[in-house]
Amino acid sequence: MSSTSSARVPRSFWAAAVLCCASSVFAQSVILNNPGKKPTVAIRNATIYPVASAPIPNGTIVFSNGLITAVAANAAIPPGATIVDGTGLSVYPGLIDSGTTLGLTEVSSVAGTVDTAELGDLNPNARADVAVNPHSNLIPVTRINGVTTVITAPQGGIISGQDALIQLAGWTPREMALKSPVGMHVNFPSMRSGALDEQPQDEEAEQEAKKTYTKNVDKLRDIFRDAQAYAKASAARALDPKVRRFDRDVLLDALVPVVMGREPVVIHADREQDIRAAIQFADDYKLKMILAGGDDVARVIPELKSHNIPVLLGPILALPQREDDPYDVLFTNAKTLHDNGIPFAIRTSEDHNARNLPYHAAACAAFGLPKDVALKAITIFPAQIFGVADRIGSLETGKLANIIVTDGDPLEIRTNVKRVYIGGEEIPMESNQTLLYEKFRQRP
Amino acid sequence: MRSAIVMAFCALLSGAPAPSPAQTVAITHGTILTITHGTIPNGTVLIRNGKIAAVGPDAQVVVPAGAQVIDATGKFVMPGIIDSHSHTAVEGSVNEISLPNTGMVRIADVLTTDDISVYRQLAGGTTTALVLHGSANSIGGQSQIVKWKWGRPLAQWFIPEAPRTIKFALGENPKSANFHPPPGVTPQYPATRMGVEEVIRKSFVDAKDYMAKWDEYDARKARGENPMPPRRDLLMEEMSDVLRGKVDVHSHCYRSDEILMLLGLSDELGFKVRELQHVLEGYKAGKEIAAHGVTAGTFIDWWGYKAEAYDAIPYNVALMTRDNVIVSVNSDSDELARHLNQDAAKAMKYGGLTEEEALKLCTLNPAKQLRLDHRLGSVDVGKDADLVIWTGHPLSAYSRVETTLIEGDVYFDRARDLANREALAREKRDRLNKEADDEAKEKKDKKDKKEKKEPAK
């Protein structure tokens, strides 16, 4: 196996790097994020799983300048290409996690390293992509298990801010951003938390909860109504300069593409009544809605179907909300959506362990989702939902070379990811964790 | 009222285990992962009176007439999963947060039998757990080893011969690094790792004095004197029993320095540490841990949730195993406790453990840590028939639990769970409707009574 990554960097550098990293909690990653070269590479003699079409045994995939140029049983290898022997290995598109906070957090309990939730309820102008730390140690940890692309999403309040679809490689946030903003993140107000669903509420608490709920829903509806008016006024002034000038409002500016239907609204809701309310809200304001979370999707199938709402389902490896929910409801939701023809993708809602995305998908397959569909739910389906299926999500000519090479099914825990290419660049198979491993396995 | 109905309903969920009418149960034609003596394809496990009576290839195990037969053709059989770090089924807070050392309080006093997480864990193959206090205090209290005998009275969850255990905690949690007392409330000692060491040291120094007082009293009594007995102290009695080796110490820890601190303290004061819990930097001190004969229960891949977890690596399990430490993967979580088999599988990926080593991480190794390996942790004749039947290899992410048995009784069965769902949903609906009707009737009666008293003018 050729190892271009170690060839680029002298060994002594890694040794020094190990020493500095291990000693400092807040050391930034020493792993090269994006070596910058986009060589021509051909991986041959591998089983290729393009996802969009049937597997190719003994196939060849060629990519150059960051794009896939050929995927076939006998693709021609251009002169000068770096040839990787894929005998016994499998090639898949990079995996896509439809919901993380990667880049926005480093050590969860250390406030200074966490940028996930802004203060206040309405922050449509907050953008995840401006706060992504390209040198976070979480990024190498995630990508060397095959996750090459993620949604990173702000978390706080009712309107959290704007989600970004990022590649897990790049020297700067801009280099990482594949599409941003990719959606307006909304936490739909909820009457009560899941744990309290079946518990008796005293009347006063119930009234108080109702009041807060109504206030929050009003807040959400009010700002969207304002944004509609603002968008209309802006359009009118753009057409006719005689329309009176008005001050710009950064919050409403951020919502204009959403109320105009150009940018989807990603609404997080898990409970049946909240999902229904969210659908009604999106309907009233003619928004392009994507549902995130969706623990209760099985209870709202007709509504999701009639409104053509895709679902970012997950986390899957999580507990059901109610004591008497079937123990496996979160595992079977994906099959229910698939059986009903509702588009969906799977997300981990994770940060440090977004690397476990494939096992969230596998849990769905263990409970009835066909294996190939489980793979699609973390590759081509999210690409379709986020409108980037022309660029990522499958191995097809012209798409970005987000490619992983494995020694087996990437949804199986025991499978090892051998190589990762993001945008055609070979990623060093190293993280702060592998460096600590190498250091301490040599402890005398 | 409503909650009572719901609780009653939850207790009904999938029912208590059917008491096995046949005292003899045979699981036949399965692939048996024995843990101690390899894999038996097309094997049979014969269970008599809750114990494994025979295990071997189908052809070699005679299934007596009248035995209840569970056909495991195409399926995998392994020992019940053991979770050496659980907080499931604890009623209320897991921390008696008022003192740095609350070694006198007992988890056994606050266990409930209706926590739905117990059933969900059975559905993930987990049959035994060490239920611990939290880590707010340097010494948190007395833990309890239980079997998840859902539907049975609590007394039956206990294993009579299980060792007594106590929870210690080091690092950020006992020094309250991540919890801030409300304004006006004095922060609790300790606030540093130095203070944590001091709390533990002082507890044992005090316990030694306490033991000396009683020794003196006993000696005087033996001499025929009539001395005043020392005042009994429940905390000091427990700490004394730790020193006497009658109570196993399970200590929450993260950083290697605090691990080494505890090992040093155990040398100095003469107590033994049985299991380091979490021990995310155990890989930095594997040799010292092994040299002290201490075991380790850890998370395979949790990291970064606090500063002391930032150097956690998924290779921790493999590195400690290679240093000859007995390692388990445990949960500390109602959710993770449903798929500890998957965490075991990750140890093959991260550091290259063999399949058998990986399986031991959630079976035989935690059984050893709990000193119950003579009863639990493998499919061997004479051991408890705590067994899990899977649709596929338990180290595959695509596998699912079909049936979970404890001592030969079925506590989870997927087919039964599925078959019961509709009836349970109907029953819940009926009960809630009846409750609503009753309430409406009660209201109406009250109103009628009132109107009778004060007839409308």
CATH tag for B81-372 (out of 3.30.70.20, 3.40.50.300, 3.30.930.10, 3.20.20.140): 3.20.20.140
Q: What is the reported pLDDT for A109? A: 96
Residue B257 burial (10 A CB sphere; 0-12, 13-18, 19+): middle
Interchain CB contact of A125 with B (< 8 Å): no
pLDDT of residue B11 exceeding 50: no
pLDDT tens-digit readout, B132-176: 999 999 999 999 999 999 999 999 999 999 999 999 999 999 998
Q: At what angle do helices A272-284 and A203-239 cross, to 10 degrees?
A: 20
Nearest CB neighbour to B314, from listed A25, A198, A433 = A433
Interchain CB contact of A197 with B (< 8 Å): no
Sign of the torsion angle spanned by Cα atoms A433, A434, A435, A437: positive
Q: What is the reported pLDDT for A38? A: 82
Bridge-based pairing state of the strands A95-100 and B81-86: unpaired
- Best mutation target among B305, B323, B348, B412 (most A Cβ atoms within 10 Å) is B305
| Å between B340 CA and nearest CA of chain A | 12
Across the interface, whether the CB atoms of B397 and A359 are under 8 A apart is answered yes
Q: What is the reported pLDDT for B2? A: 40
pLDDT tens-digit readout, A386-409: 999 999 999 999 999 999 999 999
Instruction: Give the range among A235-239, B10-14, B86-90 with minimum mean pLDDT.
Output: B10-14
Which one-letter DSSP state was computed for residue A51? S
- ipTM value for the complex: 0.93
Sign of the torsion angle spanned by Cα atoms B413, A334, B82, B71: positive
Residue B85 tokens read as: 């770090």
Nearest CB neighbour to A436, from listed B287, B311, B345 = B311
pLDDT tens-digit readout, B411-420: 999 999 999 9
pLDDT of residue A118 exceeding 90: yes
pLDDT tens-digit readout, B300-325: 999 999 999 999 999 999 999 999 99
- The average pLDDT across B105-127 equals 98
Which band of pLDDT confidence, cut at 50, 70 and 90, is reported for residue B450?
A: confident
Which band of pLDDT confidence, cut at 50, 70 and 90, is reported for residue A194?
A: very low
Phi-psi region of B410 (alpha: psi -120 to 50; beta: other; left: phi over 0): beta
Cα-Cα-Cα-Cα torsion A387, A389, A391, A397, nearest 10 degrees, comes to -160
pLDDT tens-digit readout, A313-330: 999 999 999 999 999 999
Residues 9-38 on B with a CB inside 8 Å of A are 9-10, 13
Q: What is the reported pLDDT for B179? A: 80
Contact residues, chain A, for B391 at CB < 8 Å = 366
Residue pair A278/A187 in contact by the 8 Å Cβ criterion: no
**Mean pLDDT over all residues of chain B?**
94
Q: What is the reported pLDDT for B19? A: 52
| Å between B345 CA and nearest CA of chain A | 6
Across the interface, whether the CB atoms of A415 and B349 are under 8 A apart is answered yes
The closest of A417, A376, A419, A373 to A395, measured between CA atoms, is: A376
- Which residues does A360 contact at the CB level (< 8 Å), separation at least 6? A314, A315, A316, A317, A346, A347, A348
**Mean pLDDT over all residues of chain A?**
91
**Does the model's pTM come out above 0.90?**
yes
- Best mutation target among B398, B404, B426 (most A Cβ atoms within 10 Å) is B398
Q: What is the reported pLDDT for A192? A: 64
Q: What angle do CA A302, A303, A307 make, to 5 degrees?
A: 115
pLDDT tens-digit readout, B272-282: 999 999 999 99
Interchain CB contact of A411 with B (< 8 Å): yes
Which band of pLDDT confidence, cut at 50, 70 and 90, is reported for residue B455?
A: low
Nearest CB neighbour to A413, from listed B6, B313, B349 = B349
pLDDT of residue B33 exceeding 70: yes
Nearest CB neighbour to B10, from listed A323, A353, A359 = A323
Give the span between the Cα atoms of B48 and B26, in whole angstroms: 9
- The domain locations on chain B are 2-13+416-453, 81-372
Q: How many CB atoms lie within 10 A of CB B119?
A: 22
Give the span between the Cα atoms of B60 and B28, in whole angstroms: 11
Give the span between the Cα atoms of A352 and B280, in whole angstroms: 15
Residue A105 tokens read as: 């957090």
pLDDT tens-digit readout, A9-18: 333 433 333 3
Interchain CB contact of A206 with B (< 8 Å): no
Cα-Cα-Cα-Cα torsion A141, A146, A148, A152, nearest 10 degrees, comes to -60
Cis amide leading into A315 (omega within 30): yes
Which band of pLDDT confidence, cut at 50, 70 and 90, is reported for residue B214?
A: very high
Which band of pLDDT confidence, cut at 50, 70 and 90, is reported for residue B72?
A: very high
Cα-Cα-Cα-Cα torsion A149, A154, A160, A164, nearest 10 degrees, comes to -30
Nearest CB neighbour to B310, from listed A107, A199, A414 = A107
Across the interface, whether the CB atoms of B349 and A416 are under 8 A apart is answered yes
| Å between A346 CA and nearest CA of chain B | 16
Domains of chain A with CATH codes: 194-389 (3.20.20.140)
Percent of chain A clearing pLDDT 70 (strictly above): 89
The phi, psi pair for B344, rounded to 5°, reads -60, -40
Q: How many CB atoms lie within 10 A of CB A54?
A: 9
Buried b (16+ CB within 10 A) or exposed e, A376-394: bbbbbbbbbbbebbebbbb
- The average pLDDT across B35-58 equals 98
Cα-Cα-Cα-Cα torsion B178, B180, B181, B186, nearest 10 degrees, comes to 90
Nearest CB neighbour to B119, from listed A110, A318, A327 = A327
Q: What is the reported pLDDT for B15? A: 52
- The average pLDDT across A9-29 equals 37
In A, minimum Cα distance to B316 occurs at: A437
pLDDT of residue A29 exceeding 60: no
Interchain CB contact of A433 with B (< 8 Å): yes
Residue A333 tokens read as: 């939701």
Residue A359 tokens read as: 């096992």
- The average pLDDT across B176-195 equals 89
Nearest CB neighbour to B307, from listed A109, A327, A434 = A109
How many alpha carbons lie under 13 Å from residue B422 in its C-beta half-sphere?
2
Interchain CB contact of A372 with B (< 8 Å): no
pLDDT of residue B3 exceeding 60: no
pLDDT of residue A139 exceeding 60: yes
Q: What is the reported pLDDT for A150? A: 98
Nearest CB neighbour to A319, from listed B287, B335, B400 = B335
In B, minimum Cα distance to A27 occurs at: B310
- The average pLDDT across A362-378 equals 98
Nearest CB neighbour to A198, from listed B6, B301, B307 = B6
The closest of B341, B75, B129, B403 to A359, measured between CA atoms, is: B341
- Best mutation target among A108, A378, A440 (most B Cβ atoms within 10 Å) is A440
Interchain CB contact of B183 with A (< 8 Å): no
Write out the H or E segment, with its range, that includes residue A306.
Answer: helix A301-306
pLDDT of residue A346 exceeding 80: yes
pLDDT tens-digit readout, A273-292: 999 999 999 999 999 999 99
Q: What is the reported pLDDT for B23? A: 87
Contact residues, chain A, for B284 at CB < 8 Å = 440, 443
Residue B58 tokens read as: 């189908």
Nearest CB neighbour to B400, from listed A22, A318, A367 = A367
pLDDT of residue B13 exceeding 70: no
Residues 347-386 on B with a CB inside 8 Å of A are 348-349, 351
pLDDT of residue A4 exceeding 60: no
Residue pair B52/B36 in contact by the 8 Å Cβ criterion: no
Which band of pLDDT confidence, cut at 50, 70 and 90, is reported for residue B261?
A: very high
pLDDT of residue B337 exceeding 80: yes
Across the interface, whether the CB atoms of B397 and A416 are under 8 A apart is answered no
Across the interface, whether the CB atoms of B334 and A319 are under 8 A apart is answered yes
Give the span between the Cα atoms of A409 and A49, in whole angstroms: 10
Across the interface, whether the CB atoms of B398 and A362 are under 8 A apart is answered yes
The closest of A333, A343, A338 to A382, measured between CA atoms, is: A343
SS3 labels along chain B = CHHHHHHHHHHHCCCCCCCCCCCEEEEEEEEEECCCCCEEEEEEEEEECCEEEEEEEHHHCCCCCCCEEEECCCCEEEECEEEEEECCCECCCCCCCCCCECCCCEHHHHECCCCHHHHHHHCCCEEEEEECCCCCCCEEEEEEEEECCCCCCHHHHECCCCCEEEEEECCCCCCCCCCCCCCCCCCCCCCCHHHHHHHHHHHHHHHHHHHHHHHHHHHHHHCCCCCCCCCCCHHHHHHHHHHCCCEEEEEEECCHHHHHHHHHHHHHHCCCEEEEEECCCHHHCHHHHHHCCCEEEECCCCCCCCHHHCCCCCCHHHHHHHCCCCEEECCCCCCHHHCHHHHHHHHHHCCCCCHHHHHHCCCHHHHHHCCCCCCCCCCCCCCECCEEEECCCCCCCCCCEEEEEECCEEEEEHHHHHHHHHHHHHHHHHHHHHHHHHHHHHHHHHHHHHHHHCCCC
Name beta bridge partners: A400. Answer: A67
Give the span between the Cα atoms of B316 and B318, in whole angstroms: 6
Question: What is the DSSP track for A77-144?
Answer: PPTTPEEEE-TT-EEEEPEEEEEE-TTSBSSTT-GGGB-S--SSSB-TT-BGGGG--TT-THHHHHHT
Contact residues, chain B, for A441 at CB < 8 Å = 315, 319, 322
Residue pair A313/A297 in contact by the 8 Å Cβ criterion: yes
- Best mutation target among A28, A353, A413 (most B Cβ atoms within 10 Å) is A413
Q: What is the reported pLDDT for B212? A: 98
| Å between B308 CA and nearest CA of chain A | 9
- The average pLDDT across B352-368 equals 98
Interchain CB contact of A351 with B (< 8 Å): yes
Give the span between the Cα atoms of A286 and A100, in whole angstroms: 27
Q: Tokens 């500890």 identify what position?
A: B340
- Best mutation target among A203, A299, A327 (most B Cβ atoms within 10 Å) is A327
Which one-letter DSSP state was computed for residue A350? B
| Å between B43 CA and nearest CA of chain A | 24
Interchain CB contact of B202 with A (< 8 Å): no
Give the span between the Cα atoms of A194 and A272, in whole angstroms: 11
One-letter amino acid of A408: G
Which band of pLDDT confidence, cut at 50, 70 and 90, is reported for residue B449?
A: confident
Nearest CB neighbour to B120, from listed A198, A327, A436 = A327
Higher pLDDT, A210 or B342: B342
Cis amide leading into A241 (omega within 30): no
Interchain CB contact of A15 with B (< 8 Å): no
Q: How many CB atoms lie within 10 A of CB A216?
A: 18
Interchain CB contact of A440 with B (< 8 Å): yes
